[in-house]
Amino acid sequence: MMDPIVAQKTPIQVELEPGEYWWCACGRSKSQPFCDGSHDGTGITPVRMEIAEKSSVYLCGCKYTATPPFCDGAHQLID
């Protein structure tokens, strides 16, 4: 399995409507923070998330969070 690529070193704030979303865990997606299928062949799979009501959330941009898909501050530890 390949290591994820850091898409950005800050969380990504998004306003989401209720529904199903797939967070990019590999960092290769061109539509960050969401999956576009670029993970094929990496051994990394996207993380499914279900939003019950309209919400503002902070999704991990560095891809090293311990609480995927949400930011836990891991980006502060990346050089």
pLDDT of residue 1: 86
By C-alpha distance, which of 54, 65, 51, 55 is closest to 11? 65
Q: Is residue 69 over pLDDT 90?
A: yes
d(CA 12, CA 17): 16
Angle at 47 between CA 75 and CA 8, to 5 degrees: 25
pLDDT of residue 28: 98
- State pLDDT tens for residues 10-45: 999 999 999 999 999 999 999 999 999 999 999 999
Angle at 8 between CA 38 and CA 29, to 5 degrees: 10
